[in-house]
Chain A
Amino acid sequence: MSKTLSICPFCGCGCNFYLVTKDQRVIGVEPSPKNPINKGMLCVKGWNAYEFINSPQRLDHPLIRKGDSLVPATWEEALKYVADRLNAIKSKYGPHSLGFLSSAKATNEENYLFMKMARAVFKTNNVDHCARL
């Protein structure tokens, strides 16, 4: 078993806890006693913040729509398809025909890169996230 310091993924408190792992599975959570926010305590969501990580419903490969259904695809196919379609739509209708919805659950680095992609790569300020909701 090993323990890794992590931050609870739910509300904005930002409680610190250790993810307890065994054989590449997260098997539990232990609050961090020393940090200034939660001081060794957690709420019911925090104590249980690991079970969804190993959920059998996790997506583990890309999907591409074929007619009415989403079918498995390789990363190469899926990524190229995304880049090509976005470029094509941008050329045909202009950059403002594209929209980018970032995530209040992703990291700072990912939010930064996502807005950089919208702005530097696709040349639009149509980028937002659901802070309002």
Chain B
Amino acid sequence: MAGLAATFGSGAMTNSISEFDEADLFFVIGSNTTAQHPLIGSRIIKACQRGAKLILVDPRQIQLASFATMHLRHNIGTDVALINGMMNVIISEGLYDKEFVEKRTEDFEGLESVVKKYTPRVVERISGIDANQIEEAARMYAGTKKAMILYAMGITQHATGTDNVKSCANLAMLTGHVGRPSTGVNPLRGQNNVQGACDMGALPNVFSGYQKVTDTNVRKKFEDAWGVDKLDDKVGMTVTDMIKAAQKGELKALYIMGENPMMSDPDSSHVELALSNLDFLVVQDIFLSETAKMADVVLPAVSFAEKDGTYTNTERRVQLSKKAINPLGSARADWEIICEVSRLAGYPMNYACPSEIMHEINMLTPSYGGITYARLEDSWGIQWPCPDKAHPGTGYLHKDKFAKGLGTFMPCEFKPLAEVPDDEYDFLLTTGRIYYHYHTGTMTRRISTLEREAPWSFIEINPADANRIGIRQNDLVEVTSRRGSIKARAEVTPRVPPRVVFSTFHFHEASINLLTNPVYDPVAKIPEYKGCAVKIRRCA
């Protein structure tokens, strides 16, 4: 998000899901779309069947690979180099959109001077991708007018995640593949309301609608509307900063609503230490999660079925979800609990229903200005920006100019993974999700059909490696990093390249984040889940 915001002025998906049906090429990098976003995945497959091209960049032989025009199985963590290589070809062969670059962007010279070094030959050595294939992919992408870039956590969950995103944005601007239908740079958001949580200002640096906490006028607006004075004028701590501060004893209390950092954060033994170091931990959730078990107070919330509310999907579409049943037991909706805590802490919050809260959001958030419950009841949702009640919403961004005016090229140099395999830790572990489960599994592992299909954790390992160390299908194996160790069953499969193993973070019995490396992208503060060094052995 930080990378797109810096280059384009907005961190959100530029285009819409329905535009996939008209696209002629998809450049999919770091997204196992059919597993993570199945209904978007099936759109890509349908498009391929009608003749659209697919350039897939992924080290693993994921399902989309069987539909791909080209599958580039690059070395993990070499995305910046690969995209620089493509841009090198596009510039040196004169395939870039000169008019777009001239009129709509700035700092092209900076990009040119950096990517000059990344010739296909140089990039072949870094990425493991044949120079001819790099050239072919570059020509194919640059030569197709309706070309969409799609990415997900395979791009962002790296210590160089912001650079990876900027590289995607550079590639789209260079070719003028942005600001038109069926083009753009499209990050696929992994959770049902990540986009909405960001839009609503559940971030340390902005209020709702990305209005900066450091801006005096913005603070004044919120102070007046909320009837308070002296709102905090300094950027707050991110999750990862909070965990560190708790460890040091600087953060004393943490209030967690519907998250499970004990399972989802890297190097989880450190997270456990940090949380146990707090004076006070409140967890509000529908289940007694691994994190809730450590709390001083647990507040029972309701599921999506027991409340009204809106969610914003990956294409910025705000949609209304209606209450289907009454709350179970004495559980309460998160918004009701927040109102009560605030009232008891000395600040009355009076809302009769979520639509009243939305009314306040409309008043204070320009991009949500016209998104009212009355309109949502009558439609299939509205895509922001939607500044007023007469505005139809926005299918694709950056039409005649970028959100920030001119798009800025931000060239990036290739940096290797923070932790690379050595003689002792001789494999690279990369993590992700599978089709049957979601996130830390608190919901999907309580669904019998899904649990039947995928009941236990597994480690994918290439047959060549398995043969060499004597591991067979379903053998129990131990995987160890410098931070921890887990046991899981081996899945011997060419889906992973040699010297790479893959697993997921769905299973608390074998919590993969005991192993992952807590190094972060310096800007976005996203951990490097996609690569750390491990060793692997068969359990006796």
Question: Residues on A close to B: CB < 8 A?
Answer: 4-16, 19, 21, 24-26, 34-38, 41-55, 57-65, 70, 73, 75, 78-87, 89, 93, 95-117, 119-133
Kindly list chain B residues whose C-beta atoms are within 8 Å of the C-beta of A98: 251-255
Q: Quick check: B254 and A101 within 8 Å, CB to CB?
A: yes
Which of A7, A44, A65, A124 interacts with B192 by CB under 8 Å?
Answer: A7
Q: Quick check: A115 and B208 within 8 Å, CB to CB?
A: yes
For B176-209 the 0/1 string (1 means CB < 8 A from A) is 0000000000001111111111111111110110
Which of A62, A79, A112 interacts with B200 by CB under 8 Å?
Answer: A112
Kindly list chain B residues whose C-beta atoms are within 8 Å of the C-beta of A121: 342, 345-347
Q: Quick check: B310 and A108 within 8 Å, CB to CB?
A: yes
Complex Cα gap A110–B138 (Å): 44
Q: Quick check: A111 and B226 within 8 Å, CB to CB?
A: no
Least Cβ–Cβ distance between B396 and chain A, in angstroms:
14
Which of B197, B313, B342 interacts with A106 by CB under 8 Å?
Answer: B197
Q: Quick check: B298 and A59 within 8 Å, CB to CB?
A: yes
Complex Cα gap A41–B194 (Å): 22
Kindly list chain B residues whose C-beta atoms are within 8 Å of the C-beta of A41: 39, 42
Q: Contacts A45-B436, A59-B285, A112-B200 hold; do A104 and B329 have CB atoms under 8 A apart?
A: no
Complex Cα gap A113–B346 (Å): 15
Q: Quick check: A82 and B447 within 8 Å, CB to CB?
A: no
Which of A84, A107, A119 interacts with B207 by CB under 8 Å?
Answer: A119
**Given A14-B311, A120-B228, 13 other A-B residues pairs in contact with their CB atoms under 8 A:** A7-B321, A10-B444, A53-B305, A63-B295, A89-B253, A101-B257, A106-B258, A108-B361, A112-B361, A116-B349, A125-B236, A131-B194, A132-B157
Stretch at the interface among B65-73, B103-111, B521-529: B521-529
Q: Quick check: A132 and B258 within 8 Å, CB to CB?
A: no
Q: Quick check: A44 and B338 within 8 Å, CB to CB?
A: no
Which of B188, B324, B338, B449 interacts with A117 by CB under 8 Å?
Answer: B338
Complex Cα gap A8–B202 (Å): 21
Whether, in the assembled complex, B40 has its beta carbon less than 8 Å from a beta carbon of chain A, the answer is yes
Q: For B197, B222, B309, which residue has the most chain A Cβ atoms within 10 angstroms?
A: B197
Q: Quick check: B197 and A103 within 8 Å, CB to CB?
A: yes
Q: Quick check: B257 and A106 within 8 Å, CB to CB?
A: yes
Kindly list chain A residues whose C-beta atoms are within 8 Å of the C-beta of B317: 14, 37
Q: For B234, B297, B436, B525, which residue has the most chain A Cβ atoms within 10 angstroms?
A: B297
Complex Cα gap A35–B380 (Å): 6
Residue of B nearest to A83 (CB): B344
Q: For A112, A113, A115, which residue has the most chain B Cβ atoms within 10 angstroms?
A: A112
Q: Quick check: A7 and B319 within 8 Å, CB to CB?
A: yes
Kindly list chain B residues whose C-beta atoms are within 8 Å of the C-beta of A16: 319, 380
Complex Cα gap A36–B208 (Å): 27
Which of A7, A37, A107, A120 interacts with B231 by CB under 8 Å?
Answer: A120
Q: Quick check: A14 and B313 within 8 Å, CB to CB?
A: yes
Q: Quick check: B197 and A104 within 8 Å, CB to CB?
A: yes
Kindly list chain A residues whose C-beta atoms are within 8 Å of the C-beta of B192: 7-12, 14, 104-105
Kindly list chain B residues whose C-beta atoms are within 8 Å of the C-beta of A11: 36-38, 189-192, 438
Q: Quick check: B340 and A79 within 8 Å, CB to CB?
A: yes
Complex Cα gap A125–B213 (Å): 8
Which of A10, A49, A85, A131 interacts with B1 by CB under 8 Å?
Answer: A131
Least Cβ–Cβ distance between B364 and chain A, in angstroms:
9
Kindly list chain B residues whose C-beta atoms are within 8 Å of the C-beta of A86: 253, 255, 280, 282, 341, 345
Kindly list chain B residues whose C-beta atoms are within 8 Å of the C-beta of A127: 201-204, 236
Q: Quick check: B239 and A101 within 8 Å, CB to CB?
A: yes
State which residues 292-338 of B face A: CB under 8 Å: 292-293, 295-301, 303-307, 309-315, 317-326, 328-335, 337-338
Q: Quick check: B341 and A65 within 8 Å, CB to CB?
A: no
We find that the number of chain B residues with CB closer than 8 angstroms to chain A is: 143
Whether, in the assembled complex, B453 has its beta carbon less than 8 Å from a beta carbon of chain A, the answer is yes
Which of B193, B285, B292 interacts with A111 by CB under 8 Å?
Answer: B193
Kindly list chain B residues whose C-beta atoms are within 8 Å of the C-beta of A35: 380
Kindly list chain A residues whose C-beta atoms are within 8 Å of the C-beta of B426: none
Q: Quick check: A57 and B288 within 8 Å, CB to CB?
A: yes
Least Cβ–Cβ distance between A13 and chain B, in angstroms:
5
Q: Quick check: B304 and A12 within 8 Å, CB to CB?
A: no
A-B contact pairs, 23 of them (CB 8 A): A9-B303, A13-B40, A14-B311, A16-B380, A45-B437, A47-B449, A48-B444, A51-B448, A52-B443, A59-B285, A59-B329, A60-B329, A62-B330, A63-B298, A82-B255, A108-B318, A111-B201, A115-B201, A117-B342, A129-B194, A130-B265, A132-B156, A133-B265
Kindly list chain B residues whose C-beta atoms are within 8 Å of the C-beta of A44: 38, 435-436, 449-450, 453
Complex Cα gap A44–B310 (Å): 23
Q: Quick check: B298 and A115 within 8 Å, CB to CB?
A: no
Kindly list chain B residues whose C-beta atoms are within 8 Å of the C-beta of A10: 191-192, 438, 443-444
Q: Quick check: B193 and A108 within 8 Å, CB to CB?
A: yes
Whether, in the assembled complex, B269 has its beta carbon less than 8 Å from a beta carbon of chain A, the answer is no
Q: Quick check: A99 and B330 within 8 Å, CB to CB?
A: no
For B427-441 the 0/1 string (1 means CB < 8 A from A) is 000000001111000
Which of A13, A45, A114, A123 interacts with B257 by CB under 8 Å?
Answer: A114
Q: Quick check: A125 and B321 within 8 Å, CB to CB?
A: no
Residue of A nearest to B41 (CB): A43
Kindly list chain A residues whose C-beta atoms are within 8 Å of the C-beta of B469: none
Whether, in the assembled complex, B217 has its beta carbon less than 8 Å from a beta carbon of chain A, the answer is no
